[in-house]
Amino acid sequence: MITAPLFALFAACTYEEPFQIENLSGTVVVPRAAATREIVDPDGVVQPPLTDSRFIGPIYLGLYASMLGPNEVASYPHPEVGPQIGDVQSDAYPYGGTTVGDLRFACFEALSCKVVSDRFVDFDDVVSFFKDTLYLPFEDAAGEVVESGDLMRHTCYDLLEVYTDEEVNLTASDENEDGKIDDLDLQFQENADGDFAAEFTIWQQEMVYDNDDVENDAAAFSLWAFADQPSATEFNFVTCDDSNGAGLFIGEYAEEYYGGRVRQDVLNVPSNYITGGDYVASEAFVWENADDRPVITLDWEVL
Amino acid sequence: MIRFRNVRLAMRFVAMMVALLAALPAWAVSGGQLRVVVEDTEQLPVPEAEVRVSSPQLIGGEQKRVSDANGEALFTELPPGLYTIRVTSTLGGVTAIDVAVDLGRTTVQKLKVSGGEGTEVEVKGTRAAVDVESTSRSTVLTKEFLNNVPTGQTYQDAISLTPGVTGQGGNKNIGGGATNENTYMLDGANITDPVTGTFSVNFNFDAIAQIEVLLGGYMPEYGTSVGGIVNLVTDSGSNELEFIVSADYTNGAWSPKYDARYSADGLQIAVTGFDRQYEILTLRSRVSGPIVRDKAWFILSYQMDRSLIAVAGVDQPRDFEGHYILSKLTVQPSEDHRLTAFVQLDPTTIDNIVQSAYTLPEAQGRQAQGGVVTQARWQWFLAPEVNSDLMFVVQKNYIEIGAVPCTHDAELGYHPCRPGEQEGVEDWETPGRLGTGGAYDSVNWGYYNFDDRISYIPQAKLNVVGINDPLGGSHDFKFGIEGRQLIWDQTQGYSGNLLIIDLNAVPYDPTTFQNYYNLEISGPIKYRTTGSQFGAFAQDSYKPVSNVTINYGVRLDSFVMRNDLGEPVIDGTLAGPRLFAAWDPFGDQKTKVATGWGRFNDTGVLGVADFTSASGYGSKLYFGEFFTDNGATGQGFLSNSSLMYSYDPIASANVSSLNTRSPRVDEVLLLLEREVVNDFAVISNMAGKFSRFMYEPDELNVIYDSDGSAVIGTSYGATAGYNVFRLRTPLLAKRDYFQWDLGARKVSSRRWQAEATYTYTQSLGSSTSALSGSFVNDPQTQYNYGPLNTDLNHVVKAAGFWEIPKTDPSTTTVGLSAFYYSGMPEERLYLSEGLLGGGTSYALRLRPRGTYLRFNPWWEVNLRLQQEIKVRKGNLEADVTLFNLFNNNAATFYDFGYIDFQTRMLITGRQDPLQLRLGLRYEY
């Protein structure tokens, strides 16, 4: 008589869902070369090479069935893709993924598809980077060159109807909790090798295990990543769709432009968006334990 | 052990047990207990004393027991009310009058006998300030209290007087639970809405004898709930023919008005009070009395509620008209049997259900609702220690939504009939037009829904009480089983199978009005969802010594809820053990220390099972003029407005995890109560409730960027532009609730009663209620856990009344109630981009839940004055109540919307204004 309730109670205590869901964390490393550029000033003079984490584009990390080396599909290491049937694109069918740095609408038409989150300390940093580092000053709606971070902040607050920098969600926050926001709060930090490293988390990933590798209990998916590096002249990102995005919703402030948004099939068909100058990982990582914290290095420059 | 007086009685007991098992019996908590302790002057027990109790509420006449070796006589299943106890013994006699028996409580009345046989002493009974045997966190609202303090005249309003009950509207948050997690019981039967988990019946207020509000710590007989329990018990009548009629009129439009408040650029952010409407008329009548004295009583009750309430800026008031009809017959043909038949109906119509300034009269909707509750009950008092309770309940509720019937009465201002159109016609053909960005809803309501919910509830209970334990002490055993068969039928569709969406391209600027898009929708759908719940419990209230009570027991619940394909979506077999103990350290009935742990399970609602129902609408989305080149502020990338942009298939892509479990709450409590002076107790009650495994879906297809604001891939292929949701019960879907009540209670005596409580609460969690959607956007998990809307850190509630002692009995009563709520946490939500081509987008957080800001606190004071007016026959009473005496106007609800739609912090709900309620009540 008493067995049934005790069993039910015990079963309740040991309940587990019939699948395993984990937060998968690790580190992505971008080689120093990816953060180094030679800028040509307005007079056509090539400046000395400059290394700056602001040159690093959005990083896309995907969990794929497997990874292949360079072959006829792509000239660089890439995820295995399904067959192309008719006009249907070959699809890599990712299990999951995330980003390090997100494409953001930065409140000016001229900045559509040019700004990645957590690369800049503050709005002054954005303005000076485009104006003084890239020599790509941008204009406001009245055609005036934006000279100050304050103007950018006010424009963002006005346009997005927000009240704090945190809500604009573009610049860094006090990640290291030292009471101030500075370069140490940016996502990518230089490591001992002179490369740049950033943490990532793939939230609530359902673990899938490879039936052929039960003994090793390895996940059936491999982590692979690539960096969409900005174009040399316009500092644009290929993974950004500038005919879509925030402008659609802005209403009275919309002036026939869109803020840009990330393309929704980046992880499905990465080869559509990987171009010369981008960096990909030459080795994938396979989780054997959800607590593993892999370091994935984007060590292959696409030519 | 039970000692049967003879073999015949034993046979009857066996027969009854068989009948219980065969008849699928059930349980009910619809009465109280009275434990009479007879002592001599040395406080030694007096056995073999004859104890008789009677009450106007007790059908069947006087009940008689003989005190046992401990001098105790226990009376069970007593209707709530005031009782007279007469004790006769060889040591003398004593009569106690006005001994209160309350719902779900055990009244312990000690009576001393002295003076020798034949002597008679009369004493005034008391209502205990501290119930030293109860381990539940609960409050009983008596008819006397509710009739004298200022409160709304509905049970949904009245329970706000209870500490730990928060929230607005008819469905409250009780003990940190969600508004759809409470259980509502009527005369012992579960009448909770089987689809939504909310209340299902509006009820005749005059027919309610008592309301018990349970926040936790209750025993298995009360059933299942992961929120609170609202236990209504109705009157049965008496041997006196009684007629009561009353009328109340409430007006909130006489209050001082506030100006509107505007933002710097002219947007109205807080509405004016000048043009709002607030009127309520309530008519009640009740007749009750004997059909056969002491054998058969009846009660008939009718109540009409009519209210016209419009928020400021809205021309058409929400027009509510409800008729509540109740009849109850109680028959006690012999000492052993009591039969009850009960029917209640509450047909209601609500016109103009959308209270928005952006809805035109012709686009307003009507909700017709109501239903019937029928109950047949047989209580069998087999022996003083043994009784059974068999009940069968059938409940049907309906909700019908459609357009407000048209009228040619232009003055009324409701949905106008077109020329030549017949009065009262509802248009089922013309598509409705919905506005966004400040554009009006226009043309027609455009949607219809016919919804029937049926519950069949057989239940039975067996009480075996006052059983002496061979090792000492006594037991009150209770056993019960219950079944609940649930059916939910729905028929719904869109007028003309089309829905037209308009917008102001520049929000709130009508000069930029355009057609936004149009949805061509598949035809009407009709489907059925079903469920079954079976439960059983066993519990004991064990008193090893006179000042210790150990309440323990367990519930076993098995349930299955099916979708429209008959697939079991959620099911389970659950154990809900409880172990609580109460200690009266001084043995003087004045102090209680109680503690314990209990598990409370959720046996699901049909609304959750419906998550994976296949029935649904398919639709094709066509762009409107906003997207064409012609629009002044259109987006200009389409030249052909008839282009179909996307389509949604009819089939639902939602699935259910194969191994969901049921949400459950573990509660621990520590209750300290002490009567410091006569009838006055101080209270410190603490409880922690930990809710786990709430029903929440996640999303299987879409892959997001780092914060969930944009889509970067899909698992089911790049062309799969749809979301796939999966119902789960993840461990992360949880709530942690802590409540500490500090208060004082003065029970009714010497012409006054009062209760005041300060409550500190902390309520953190990731799931506000079932299917809240907290887990559909994976990266947002990092922000899911935070303060919930029940995280009202500081709440003060006080209520009481005083009969002004000018005459005896008093003719004037003053009642007062006051409430203070510190502000609840509020969120600012942002729009994630969602899937292009018809996918779902989400409210996005940039910081942990509930940490953006807090509402301002709000408070109100209510005053009630009742004056008896001399009439030749009967009693006439005038009743004047002022609600929100200081006309406070604090915001109670903000609406942030999404950031991409020009979010302003619009205040969409404020305290009800100062209201004057005038009432007349006549009793004969």
Q: Which ipTM was obtained for this model?
A: 0.94
Q: Is A23 on the interface with B (CB under 8 A)?
A: yes
Distance CA B129, CA B680 (A): 6
Mean local confidence (pLDDT), B258-274: 65
Q: Is B666 on the interface with A (CB under 8 A)?
A: no
Higher pLDDT among residues A90 and A63, named by residue: A63
Collect all residues of chain A within an 8 Å Cβ-Cβ radius of residue B573: 8
| β-strand partners of B807 | none
Torsion over CA: B696, B701, B707, B711 (sign): negative
B640: pLDDT confidence band, cut at 50, 70 and 90? very low
Distance CA B561, CA B809 (A): 56
Collect all residues of chain A within an 8 Å Cβ-Cβ radius of residue B785: none
pLDDT of residue B1: 37
The 10 Å Cβ neighbour count of residue B716 is: 16
Q: Is B847 on the interface with A (CB under 8 A)?
A: yes
Mean local confidence (pLDDT), A123-132: 97
Q: Are B879 and B917 in contact (CB under 8 A)?
A: yes
Terminal C-alpha separation, chain B = 48
pLDDT of residue A295: 97
Report the amino acid identity of residue B723. N
Distance of residue B606 Cα from the nearest chain A Cα, in angstroms? 22
Residue B759: which residues within 8 A CB-CB, separation 6 or more? Answer: B163, B164, B739, B740, B741, B742, B794, B795, B796, B797
User: Where in chain B do CATH 2.60.40.10 domains reside?
Assistant: 31-124
Read off the pLDDT of residues B889-922 as tens digits, 9 standing for 90 and up: 888 877 666 555 555 666 767 788 888 999 999 9
Put simply, the answer to whether A266 touches B599 (Cβ < 8 Å) is no
Distance of residue A42 Cα from the nearest chain B Cα, in angstroms? 35
Distance of residue B465 Cα from the nearest chain A Cα, in angstroms? 22
A247: pLDDT confidence band, cut at 50, 70 and 90? low
Q: Where are the beta strands (DSSP E) in chain A?
A: 21-30, 36-37, 50-51, 59-64, 67-68, 78-79, 96-100, 103-104, 115-116, 189-190, 196-206, 222-227, 240-241, 261-262, 279-280, 285-286, 295-297, 300-301
Distance of residue A97 Cα from the nearest chain B Cα, in angstroms? 6
pLDDT of residue B616: 87
The continuous run of DSSP H or E covering A249 comes out as helix A247-250
Q: Is B516 on the interface with A (CB under 8 A)?
A: no
The 10 Å Cβ neighbour count of residue B652 is: 17
Interface subset of B 571-600, CB within 8 angstroms of A: 573-575, 577, 599
| β-strand partners of B278 | B309
CA dihedral A153, A157, A163, A165 (to 10 degrees): -40
- Give which of B378, B235, B244, B390 is closest to B297, Cα–Cα: B235
In the predicted model, is pLDDT for residue B633 greater than 70? no
Mean local confidence (pLDDT), A29-38: 96
Q: Is B633 on the interface with A (CB under 8 A)?
A: yes
Residue in B575, B577, B713 nearest the CB of A266: B713
Q: Is A98 on the interface with B (CB under 8 A)?
A: yes
In the predicted model, is pLDDT for residue B283 greater than 80? yes
Give, as one character, the DSSP assignment of residue B433. Answer: E
Q: What number does CATH give the domain B234-616+652-923?
A: 2.40.170.20
In the predicted model, is pLDDT for residue B103 greater than 50? yes
Q: Are B111 and B89 in contact (CB under 8 A)?
A: no
Collect all residues of chain A within an 8 Å Cβ-Cβ radius of residue B627: none
Mean local confidence (pLDDT), B445-464: 95
| β-strand partners of A157 | none
In the predicted model, is pLDDT for residue B812 greater than 50? yes
CA dihedral B379, B383, B387, B388 (to 10 degrees): -70
Cα B77 vs. chain centroid, distance in angstroms? Answer: 24
Residue in B664, B706, B901 nearest the CB of A98: B706
Higher pLDDT among residues B124 and B381, named by residue: B381
Token pair in block for residue B404: 């407000």
A142: pLDDT confidence band, cut at 50, 70 and 90? confident
DSSP secondary structure string for all residues of B567-631:
-EEEEEEEEEEEEEEEE-TTSSSSEEEEEEEEEEE----HHHHGGG-S----EEEEE-GGGBTTS
Interface subset of A 108-127, CB within 8 angstroms of B: none
B4: pLDDT confidence band, cut at 50, 70 and 90? very low
Put simply, the answer to whether A264 touches B847 (Cβ < 8 Å) is no
pLDDT of residue B263: 63
Give the least confident one: A66-70, B645-649, B782-786.
Answer: B645-649
Decide: residue B829, CB within 10 A, 0-12 exposed, 13-18 middle, 19+ buried: middle
Q: Is A88 on the interface with B (CB under 8 A)?
A: yes
Distance of residue A183 Cα from the nearest chain B Cα, in angstroms? 20
DSSP secondary structure string for all residues of B70-115:
TSEEEEEEEPSEEEEEEEEETTEEEEEEEEEE-TT-EEEEEEE--S
Mean local confidence (pLDDT), B112-138: 85
- Give which of B185, B95, B204, B188 is closest to B143, Cα–Cα: B204
B314: pLDDT confidence band, cut at 50, 70 and 90? confident
pLDDT of residue B277: 82
Read off the pLDDT of residues B593-632 as tens digits, 9 standing for 90 and up: 999 999 999 999 999 999 999 988 888 888 888 876 554 4
Distance CA A24, CA A199 (A): 11
Q: Are B445 and B363 in contact (CB under 8 A)?
A: yes
Distance of residue B639 Cα from the nearest chain A Cα, in angstroms? 15
Distance of residue A44 Cα from the nearest chain B Cα, in angstroms? 37
Mean local confidence (pLDDT), B222-246: 93
Instruction: For B572, name the nearest residue in chain A, comparing CA atoms only.
Output: A8
Give the least confident one: B553-562, B590-599, B826-835, B860-869.
Answer: B826-835
Q: Is A96 on the interface with B (CB under 8 A)?
A: yes
Put simply, the answer to whether A203 touches B659 (Cβ < 8 Å) is no
Collect all residues of chain A within an 8 Å Cβ-Cβ radius of residue B902: 161, 251
Report how many Cβ contacts below 8 Å link chain A to chain B.
Answer: 148
Distance CA B612, CA B569 (A): 7
| β-strand partners of B378 | B339, B390
Mean local confidence (pLDDT), B73-93: 92
The 10 Å Cβ neighbour count of residue B18 is: 10
In the predicted model, is pLDDT for residue A86 greater than 60? yes
Q: Is B646 on the interface with A (CB under 8 A)?
A: no
Mean local confidence (pLDDT), B64-93: 92
Put simply, the answer to whether B705 touches A62 (Cβ < 8 Å) is no
Say yes or no: domain B31-124 is CATH 2.60.40.10. Answer: yes
Distance of residue B589 Cα from the nearest chain A Cα, in angstroms? 35
Put simply, the answer to whether B900 touches A99 (Cβ < 8 Å) is no
Q: Is B511 on the interface with A (CB under 8 A)?
A: no
- Give which of B145, B141, B166, B154 is closest to B307, Cα–Cα: B154
Domain residue extents for chain A: 23-301
B270: pLDDT confidence band, cut at 50, 70 and 90? low
Read off the pLDDT of residues B173-223 as tens digits, 9 standing for 90 and up: 999 999 999 999 999 889 999 999 999 999 999 999 999 999 999 999 998
Residue in B661, B700, B779 nearest the CB of A98: B779
Report the amino acid identity of residue A215. E
Put simply, the answer to whether A18 touches B658 (Cβ < 8 Å) is yes
Put simply, the answer to whether B556 touches A203 (Cβ < 8 Å) is no
Put simply, the answer to whether A268 touches B717 (Cβ < 8 Å) is yes
Put simply, the answer to whether B899 touches A160 (Cβ < 8 Å) is yes
Put simply, the answer to whether B710 touches A261 (Cβ < 8 Å) is yes
Q: Is A200 on the interface with B (CB under 8 A)?
A: yes
B7: pLDDT confidence band, cut at 50, 70 and 90? very low
Put simply, the answer to whether B715 touches A96 (Cβ < 8 Å) is yes
Q: Is B875 on the interface with A (CB under 8 A)?
A: no
Average confidence score pLDDT of chain B: 88
Is the link from the previous residue into B333 a cis peptide, with omega within 30 of 0? no
Pick the residue of B517, B703, B778 with the most A CBs within 10 A to test the interface with A by mutation: B703
Q: Is A248 on the interface with B (CB under 8 A)?
A: yes
Collect all residues of chain B within an 8 Å Cβ-Cβ radius of residue A225: none
Cα B735 vs. chain centroid, distance in angstroms? Answer: 20
Interface subset of A 201-230, CB within 8 angstroms of B: 201, 203-206
User: Where in chain B do CATH 2.40.170.20 domains reside?
Assistant: 234-616+652-923
B358: pLDDT confidence band, cut at 50, 70 and 90? confident
Collect all residues of chain A within an 8 Å Cβ-Cβ radius of residue B904: 161
Residue in A62, A99, A265 nearest the CB of B718: A265
Three-state secondary-structure class, residue A183: helix
Locate tokens 């970067």: which residue? B712
- Give which of B493, B357, B499 is closest to B432, Cα–Cα: B499
Three-state secondary-structure class, residue B772: coil
| Range with the largest mean pLDDT of A254-263, B391-400, B725-734 | B391-400
Torsion over CA: B850, B855, B857, B862 (sign): negative
Residue in B505, B659, B830 nearest the CB of A251: B505
Interface subset of B 535-554, CB within 8 angstroms of A: 554
Q: How far is CA A37 from CA A59, B519, B624, B879, in A?
A: 18, 51, 47, 84
In the predicted model, is pLDDT for residue B719 greater than 70? no
pLDDT of residue B836: 64
pLDDT of residue B643: 60
Distance CA A65, CA A286 (A): 10
Q: Is A264 on the interface with B (CB under 8 A)?
A: yes
Mean local confidence (pLDDT), A272-281: 96
